[in-house]
Structure 1
Amino acid sequence: MFSYQPPVKHMQYVLSDVLSATDTLRVDAGYNEIDEQLVRQVLEEAGRFTAEVLFPVNASGDRQGCRFESGAVFTPDGFRDAYRQFVDSGWAALACDPGYGGQGLPHVLNCALQEMMISANHAWTMYPGVLHGAYTCLKAHGSEELKQYYLPKIVSGEWLVTMALTEPQAGSDVGLLRTRAVEGDTGTYRLSGNKIFISGGEHDLTENIVHLVLARIPGGPEGSKGVSLFVVPKICPDGSRNQVTCTGIEHKMGIRGSATCSLEFAGATGWLVGEPHRGLAAMFVMMNAARMLVGAQGLGIAETVYQNAARYANERLQMKAVDRPAERKDQPADPIALHPPVRRLLLSQRAYVEGGRMMLYWSGLMLDLAERHPIPQRRQDFEQMLALVTPVVKAFLTEKGFQGASDALQVYGGYGVITETGVEQYLRDCRVTMIYEGTNEIQAIDLVVRKILGDQGVRLGRFLELVRATVQAERTGPFAGHSECLSKLATELAAIARAVCESGTANLTPLHWVAGDVLRLMGHCIIGWLLLRSASASCNNREDDYAFHDERLETVDHYFAYEFTETHAALAVLRASFAQHGLSLTW
């Protein structure tokens, strides 16, 4: 039977042993109340909620889907009750400012919560998924009046939020949008236009839905520079129904319990957020949070399918393993987990789950430090580093999450394509993560052009300094071989950055052509670096739990032996492509 068991032990290991998160949060982020006991308590309670409340309505929500009737959307059975428990337990407010009703806990713990919610029920998690991003956006750019009115309701989860960007002709290119905002009375605007692919654009979970909408004020600049951001509530402050109508919902291959809506704004009342024509900059605060969430989606899905594939492989008996253990010599067949091809599939899944969790939580920790480090320059450094790695978190973790779901289905064999086994739903649910909130191709271009070329490789250089420090510490120890592999990749990435910067902006074609390969190299560098740190941590703590830490060390060895080799192919592509475009790439 398909199941989900929150990996609390490994989560705590990542936070405590690999990242030293509690010490860092106390010393550098002012979270004086944070200790190991509190972290464990939050993880365990979140695990209970996700496993006992969200997961039981996951498969049924997929089968039932959402229902659309005359502009109203009805979510699958059990979703409303699950949302009520989510709000009553205070999960919506976990990492929000106590001044607006939040619990004031670190963002990195919210990353763990998001991972578990997605592992248990991806479709349901889409509804509160942008709450924190919307809170951050309004807190940073909203007027005091908007903040006082909306933030307490958003923080508590009493009202849900949407991010309304996409239009039929304007997907990745927001500059093509046509929704108009005409100035009205008493500081309001009237918005007219159509939005599509709006997650949670209409539903029955909350009375009010707050739409954050991108639109054009007439007379503004063309393209994305002329876009403004507005708060457009379903229910206006005076209690009247706003002129926002759901005109339909999409029928999708995955996340069927999430209502993906088309919305019509027919002179709807809205309030400007931030400055006119500066809406995209304000919305990017929310979009970056959403991209972190999508990375968590890739990880969360990979975790659940790996758990089930591993359990199934240990139960399914087929043939005799080529290196069967002596205690099974009289058995007619062995668990497929003992067969090397299946074992390799499982270890590959586990490597990206464990390494991906480290990447996500490291990013969450940087978000805390970017907000709360006592030294302004250090806050800016962490903010810049987070901006560098956010496209990698989104694209690399979703790509590997989909690959993991496909590999898990492969472990199941013929049973994997049967609906009742559960794994095929997770494969369907995962596919969209490589598309929404900026396709993975756009994330790669963002990394190479806006981040590496944009600052002449300064941020990348700072990250590579962190990698080299770890490499130097492990150069003569038991992980010297892994350290050497990582050292070579760091050198190659530095050379790539130089080549990118030397190519300049005159001809971006070669950079766009190889951006995906650069992003994969960066993903492997981050995961390799963090797994090397975990190897050192497990080696030092092995006596505390031999079985647990030996499994971690096995993961690291497998990753560097079998997965890290992807970097060789990516480098070969880079050399060939740069040569094709008349550029030099040598080191």
Structure 2
Amino acid sequence: MDTYRAPVEDMRFLIDEVLEAENVLGSLPDFAELGVGPDLTVALLDEAAKLAGDALAPLRRVGDEQPATCEAGAVTCSPGHEDALNQMGAGGWIGISSDPNYGGQGLPEIYSTVGHEMWNGANMALALAPMLSSGAALAIHAHGTEEQKRTYLEKMHTGEWMGTMNLTESGAGSDLGVMKARAVPEGDHYRITGQKIFITWGDHEATDNIVHLVLAKLPGAPEGSRGISLFIVPKFLVNEDGSLGERNDVYPVSVEHKLGIHGSPTCVMAFGDNGGAIGYLLGEENRGLACMFTMMNEARLKVGIQGLGASEGALQKATAYARERVQGGVPIIEHADVKRMLLTMKSLCEAMRALAYAEAVTMDLAHRGPQDQRGQQQSRIDLMIPVIKGWMTEVGQEVTSLGVQVHGGMGYVEETGAAQYFRDVRITPIYEGTNGIQAADLVSRKLGRDGGAAMESVLQDIRATCEGLAASGDARLAGIGSAMEGALAEQEASTQWVLQALKQDAAAAMGASFEYMMQTGYLFGGWHLARAAQVAFERLQAGSDNPFYEAKLATALYYAEQILPRCAAHAGAVARADGALQSYPLEWI
């Protein structure tokens, strides 16, 4: 049986001591009356950890070895998965940050983020269901009529119903403008026809209903992505009194045979094979992409969290194996290279966690903070999201691969379960916008639209941290600060290069975008580890003898010495992106 223990101590440390999220968020009107504070944090983290460790983690290998199947237009889930989803819904976890007026708990995004890390660390395939359902509910909340909100949201937030997002079609990938799905007006609804692929948790019996959000084109709609509309297409139609009516004309055709996440039924979905599925317009006609992008920041944050969750699971398994496996008369954790791999995994996990949690708080402030600060907070989270999604999922591949390597030959054998983390996380750089799309978004939209102003604001914060590290009087903090100063200077140079390239040679800027995204991620991750190290040092200076604080300092120093130098390599690639990359003839590839 798989085991997973949520890193609750590090989570609490970040939320309470580093980010002071309970004070920052608990003072806001929307959260004060909900009792946001240390007691709530402790209770939520403890309960979430139990659910993740006791209910979800034991099913990780079950789902991998007994995948979901599809036969005769219905999906059979992996054993135990439907019951686990019901437990998540009953515990209020699915709508934890959703509007309490529609069945949600209305708590800060930081608590949802923590929960999603645990779910993905325990069982990524299962965790996809609440993640996609929450995204669908968010789109309905933002663009639905009051009737639509009342009809669907409460049951989605409580987990009685689930939601999906139906975007992609065969041969289209991320190019949604060429889609073939059609919607024909018919009275107060539409008839939807077409087929969608890669639909996560597209069908199952875990909930009474599934609320599909489907992109399709109306007759006479403009060409390309400007002519896409979004529709609510429930598996079962809903009567006026809220009860379920007849089965809608939407069925799974098959489930994809995938590299990983086998416990997640990724479906090919057919709409309208028997006369047309009944759908209801969500938002305005031909504004479907705008409606879908309402929830993209939250969705991409959660995908980055998937990279973190899988990495933490891989780290725990690799560390346990390294302590038990004896070679040369000693546990292999004492071997220098194994220690290097484990410290690389650990420091990257903690850097990802610190970055994601910090920006979950930013997201809360952008939505619920003081009105005069929301615009600035939104600009910051907009900048951060492609970094979180892109960098954290790339790093997730590295960390889970190192988990296999620590196991040696046994890591390549499926029975150990180490390879599953590697296989499962491989999807994360692909969906919700490939990482090439994230990098292009970071450079062309987020950096280009304000001339680098949002980036400069963050870099000012990093400068302040560097100054504090240098003035600490501690050699370890000073060493971290010195490394950070070098990486900061490289970031400033790369940012100016990209901004200039955007004006003079957009192709070169796009060629540099992935390297720039990775450079930014390593810097931001190191910055947040450095902030954590500062707090840990303060606690030690105040007399604490908790070894956790010593470990935080040591981990941040390792990252500064062994991981942060990667920024220089990426900076070098950015500065030369107008060279051979641009001039190389395509016919030679």
- Shorter-chain TM band: over 0.9
Show the counterpart of 1:574.
574
Show the counterpart of 2:401.
406
Q: How does 1:544-563 map to 2 (within 5 A)?
A: 544-563=544-563
Percent identity for Structure 1 against Structure 2: 39
Bigger shift: residues 164-173 or 572-581: 572-581
Alignment partner of 1:383 is 2:384:
no
Letter of the structure 2 residue corresponding to residue 384 of structure 1: S
Letter of the structure 2 residue corresponding to residue 85 of structure 1: Q
Cα deviation digits, residues 446-505 of structure 1 (max 9, x gap) = 111111112211211111122122122222222223223323333333333333233336
CA distance in 2, matches of 1:582, 1:243: 49
CA distance in 2, matches of 1:548, 1:96: 33
Show the counterpart of 2:346.
350
Letter of the structure 1 residue corresponding to residue 271 of structure 2: F
CA distance in 1, matches of 2:110, 2:167: 27
CA displacement at 1:99 relative to structure 2: 0.8
Show the counterpart of 2:225.
224
CA distance in 2, matches of 1:458, 1:581: 28
| Residue ranges of structure 1 left out of the alignment (5+ in a row) | 320-332
Cα deviation digits, residues 11-45 of structure 1 (max 9, x gap) = 10111121111111123564222111110110000
SS at match of 2:94: helix
CA distance in 1, matches of 2:372, 2:183: 38
Q: How does 1:90-105 map to 2 (within 5 A)?
A: 90-105=92-107
Distance 1:26 1:65, change over 3 A: same
Alignment partner of 1:180 is 2:182:
yes
Alignment partner of 1:250 is 2:245:
no
CA distance in 2, matches of 1:21, 1:245: 44
Cα deviation digits, residues 339-394 of structure 1 (max 9, x gap) = 111101000000011111111111211111111112x2311211121111111111
Show the counterpart of 1:292.
301
Show the counterpart of 1:330.
none
Alignment equivalent of 2:335, drawn from 327, 339, 342: 339
CA distance in 2, matches of 1:66, 1:30: 40
Bigger shift: residues 24-33 or 383-392: 24-33
CA contact (8 A) 1:139 1:147 kept: yes
CA displacement at 1:175 relative to structure 2: 1.5
CA distance in 1, matches of 2:295, 2:76: 26
SS at match of 2:48: helix
CA contact (8 A) 2:184 2:219 kept: yes
CA contact (8 A) 2:508 2:582 kept: no
Alignment partner of 1:468 is 2:474:
no
CA distance in 2, matches of 1:280, 1:150: 21
Letter of the structure 1 residue corresponding to residue 194 of structure 2: G
Show the counterpart of 1:366.
362
CA distance in 2, matches of 1:573, 1:103: 46
Distance 1:169 1:541, change over 3 A: same
* TM-score (normalizing by structure 1): 0.94
Distance 1:181 1:506, change over 3 A: farther
Alignment equivalent of 1:485, drawn from 448, 466, 483: 483
Q: How does 1:128-207 map to 2 (within 5 A)?
A: 128-186=130-188, 188-207=189-208
SS at match of 1:92: coil
CA contact (8 A) 1:132 1:289 kept: no
Cα deviation digits, residues 272-310 of structure 1 (max 9, x gap) = 111111111110122332211111111001101111211
CA displacement at 1:581 relative to structure 2: 8.0
CA distance in 2, matches of 1:439, 1:419: 27
CA contact (8 A) 2:16 2:22 kept: yes
Cα deviation digits, residues 202-252 of structure 1 (max 9, x gap) = 111112111111111222222112111111111112412111121111111
CA contact (8 A) 2:254 2:267 kept: yes
CA contact (8 A) 2:66 2:78 kept: yes
CA distance in 1, matches of 2:312, 2:232: 36
Show the counterpart of 1:270.
279
Structure 1 runs (4+) greater than 6 angstroms displaced: none
CA distance in 2, matches of 1:336, 1:565: 27
CA contact (8 A) 1:79 1:124 kept: yes
CA distance in 1, matches of 2:579, 2:478: 33
CA contact (8 A) 1:29 1:368 kept: no
CA distance in 2, matches of 1:355, 1:425: 23
Bigger shift: residues 523-532 or 485-494: 485-494
CA distance in 2, matches of 1:17, 1:173: 44
Show the counterpart of 1:327.
none
Letter of the structure 2 residue corresponding to residue 444 of structure 1: A
Bigger shift: residues 571-580 or 287-296: 571-580
CA contact (8 A) 1:169 1:176 kept: no
CA contact (8 A) 2:137 2:163 kept: no
Letter of the structure 2 residue corresponding to residue 44 of structure 1: D
SS at match of 1:433: coil
Cα deviation digits, residues 493-551 of structure 1 (max 9, x gap) = 33333332333366421112111110011101211110110110111112434311111
Bigger shift: residues 510-519 or 236-245: 236-245
CA displacement at 1:579 relative to structure 2: 4.9
CA distance in 1, matches of 2:429, 2:582: 31
CA distance in 2, matches of 1:143, 1:485: 52
Show the counterpart of 1:5.
5
SS at match of 1:127: helix
Q: How does 1:71-82 map to 2 (within 5 A)?
A: 71-82=73-84
Alignment equivalent of 1:522, drawn from 509, 520, 523: 520
CA distance in 2, matches of 1:581, 1:511: 11
Show the counterpart of 2:436.
441
Distance 1:185 1:30, change over 3 A: closer
Letter of the structure 2 residue corresponding to residue 378 of structure 1: Q
CA distance in 1, matches of 2:73, 2:2: 35
CA contact (8 A) 1:305 1:404 kept: yes
Show the counterpart of 1:324.
none
Show the counterpart of 1:282.
291
Letter of the structure 1 residue corresponding to residue 570 of structure 2: A
Bigger shift: residues 132-141 or 24-33: 24-33
CA distance in 2, matches of 1:506, 1:278: 33
Show the counterpart of 1:88.
90
CA displacement at 1:4 relative to structure 2: 0.9
CA distance in 1, matches of 2:219, 2:501: 38
CA displacement at 1:580 relative to structure 2: 5.3
CA contact (8 A) 1:122 1:297 kept: yes
Distance 1:506 1:230, change over 3 A: farther
Alignment partner of 1:315 is 2:324:
yes
Show the counterpart of 2:114.
112
Show the counterpart of 1:325.
none
Show the counterpart of 1:565.
565
Letter of the structure 1 residue corresponding to residue 262 of structure 2: R
CA contact (8 A) 1:453 1:497 kept: no
CA contact (8 A) 2:491 2:571 kept: no
CA displacement at 1:74 relative to structure 2: 0.7
CA distance in 2, matches of 1:409, 1:531: 25
Distance 1:27 1:469, change over 3 A: farther
Alignment partner of 1:424 is 2:397:
no
